[in-house]
């Protein structure tokens, strides 16, 4: 009897925490390093290889094209081979392609390699975002996704500190060693994911985390949790609307993330070291952006949270204009960091709410196609606009207009969804 009581009373760590921490590492690797380190590497890499702004934009676009291609199939691949294998394999692709950039001496070599970095990022990110939804009850999903996306911010901090150090100590070759070291770090996370990830709470004989914490102490029943994997016309209509809003995030954040460091170095005269510190500040502030967005979306609703965060993005882009006082640059970076992972975390929670956790991975992959399309257009257009005008100001103003449009659209979607509820 005593043994039974002890077993009953003994506190156990829910495996959802293991999934969440591993997901944090996956985001750190596939996006934090695989995508957001590029902004730190571009100034030195562009100088070493004599790249124009337009060509720098094409490097970023190649990554986003690879990402968009992979998200079309990521859900199906995950359903066929399981999320653990898909995520681990995706991270391995990211690692190998990043390490191979070490040997690159021209743009035609870099473009296909960074394309495959994008492919691997999509194969890791999409299943991970879908997987975490099934491990948490509906009223915890926003916060869980937000916490996990803080891994992206850790990647920004890591690259913002490491890359300038390597560039300073390894003159002319620092950016090459950076690609190699970052690729090695991604491989370590791939191994971690292969060991720790599990497809669902049922595999470890648990319920979704937070399912028992309702007012009546009854398990939470997720909307759509028993649905099949196929999406019907009503689902697709809602997801298309959400995807269009998400596409504006892809088109705008990617411009700031790709070119803000280049703007600091080339337009404001910052050293690589100081620009790296600024980029690290973005990463540090962004650590709270996901949890912050998840919290307000769980409390205020998904669409109101999207509107608030998009408004913050508008402020960030406008305050980055070169003619403004330096204090505006600090405020811009703070606003961008506070907003950065908010949109993806809220979108992921909204998708799971709409279609249920069983279909979250495929549905998130669907809306991410829109996001990916925005990413493809944004940096390339911004690079060519900067070449034509000599500054990134025009691109930042356009981004502010687009994010304001997304905020208004989110408010309208909130009203529309409230009307259709019984």
Residue 219 domain flag: no
Residue 1 has pLDDT above 60, yes or no: no
The string of pLDDT tens digits covering residues 21-73 is: 999 999 999 999 999 899 889 888 988 999 988 898 899 889 989 998 998 88
Residue 2 domain flag: no
Strands (E), 30-159: none
pLDDT, position 138: 74
Residue 7 domain flag: no
Show the domain range for 311: 14-202+232-420
Residue 207 domain flag: no
Residue 209 domain flag: no
pTM (2 decimals)?
Answer: 0.76
More confident residue, 118 or 153: 118
Phi, psi values for residue 287, rounded to 5°: -60, -30
pLDDT, position 333: 92
The answer to whether 282 and 333 are in contact (CB under 8 A) is: yes
Residue 80 has pLDDT above 60, yes or no: yes
Number of folded domains that form the chain: 1
Side-chain-side CA neighbours of 58 within 13 Å: the count stands at 16
More confident residue, 222 or 246: 246
Residue 4 domain flag: no
- 403 vs 249: CA distance, rounded Å: 7
DSSP string of 264-301, one letter each residue: HHHTS---HHHHHHHHHHHHHHHTTHHHHHHHHHHHH-
pLDDT, position 407: 96
Residues in contact with 215: Cβ distance below 8 Å, sequence separation at least 6, in sequence order:
none
pLDDT, position 392: 92
pLDDT, position 222: 47
| DSSP-derived secondary structure letter, 208 | P
Residue 211 domain flag: no
- 138 vs 145: CA distance, rounded Å: 11
Question: What percentage of the chain has pLDDT greater than the value 90?
Answer: 44
Residue 307 has pLDDT above 90, yes or no: yes
Give me the CATH number covering residue 366. Answer: 1.20.1250.20
More confident residue, 114 or 147: 114
Average pLDDT over residues 144-168: 87
More confident residue, 268 or 2: 268
The string of pLDDT tens digits covering residues 186-212 is: 999 999 999 999 988 888 888 887 765
When the pLDDT of each residue in the chain is averaged and rounded to a whole number, the result is 86
Residue 396 domain flag: yes
pLDDT, position 276: 83
């Amino acid at each position: 009897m005593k043994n039974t009581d002890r077993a009953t009373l003994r506190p156990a760590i829910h495996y959802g925490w293991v999934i969440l921490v591993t997901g944090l590492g996956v985001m750190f690797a596939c996006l934090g390093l695989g995508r957001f380190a590029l902004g730190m590497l571009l100034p030195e890499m562009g100088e070493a290889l004599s790249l124009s702004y337009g060509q720098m934009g094409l490097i970023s676009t190649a990554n986003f094209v690879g990402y968009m291609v992979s998200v079309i199939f990521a859900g199906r691949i995950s359903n066929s081979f399981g999320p653990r294998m898909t995520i681990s394999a995706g991270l391995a692709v990211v690692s190998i392609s990043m390490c191979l950039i070490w040997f690159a001496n021209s743009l035609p070599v870099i473009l296909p390699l960074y394309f495959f970095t994008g492919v691997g990022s999509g194969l890791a990110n999409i299943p991970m975002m879908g997987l975490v939804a099934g491990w948490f009850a509906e009223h915890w999903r926003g916060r869980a996704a937000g916490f996990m996306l803080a891994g992206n911010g850790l990647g920004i901090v890591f690259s913002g500190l490491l890359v300038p150090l390597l560039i300073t100590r390894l003159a002319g070759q620092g950016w090459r060693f950076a690609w190699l070291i970052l690729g090695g770090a991604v491989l370590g996370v791939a191994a971690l994911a292969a060991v720790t990830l599990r497809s669902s709470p049922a595999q470890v004989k648990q319920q979704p985390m937070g399912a028992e914490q309702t007012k009546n102490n009854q398990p939470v029943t997720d909307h759509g949790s028993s649905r099949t994997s196929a999406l019907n016309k009503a689902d697709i209509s809602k997801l298309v609307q959400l995807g269009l809003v998400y596409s504006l995030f892809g088109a705008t954040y990617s411009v700031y993330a790709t070119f803000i460091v280049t703007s600091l170095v080339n337009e404001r005269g910052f050293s690589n070291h100081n620009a790296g510190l600024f980029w690290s500040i973005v990463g540090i502030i962004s650590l709270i952006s996901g949890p912050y967005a998840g919290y307000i979306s769980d409390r205020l609703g998904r669409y109101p949270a999207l509107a608030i965060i998009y408004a913050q993005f508008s402020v960030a882009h406008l305050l980055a204009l070169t003619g403004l006082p330096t204090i505006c640059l600090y405020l811009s970076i703070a606003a961008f960091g506070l907003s950065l992972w908010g949109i993806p975390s809220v979108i992921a929670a909204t998708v799971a709410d709409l279609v249920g956790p069983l279909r979250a991975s495929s549905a998130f992959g669907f809306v991410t196609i829109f996001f990916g399309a925005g990413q493809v257009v944004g940096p390339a257009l911004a690079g060519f606009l900067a070449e034509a005008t000599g500054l990134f100001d025009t691109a930042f103003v356009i981004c502010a207009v687009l994010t304001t449009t997304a905020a208004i659209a989110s408010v309208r979607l909130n009203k529309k969804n409230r009307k259709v509820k019984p």
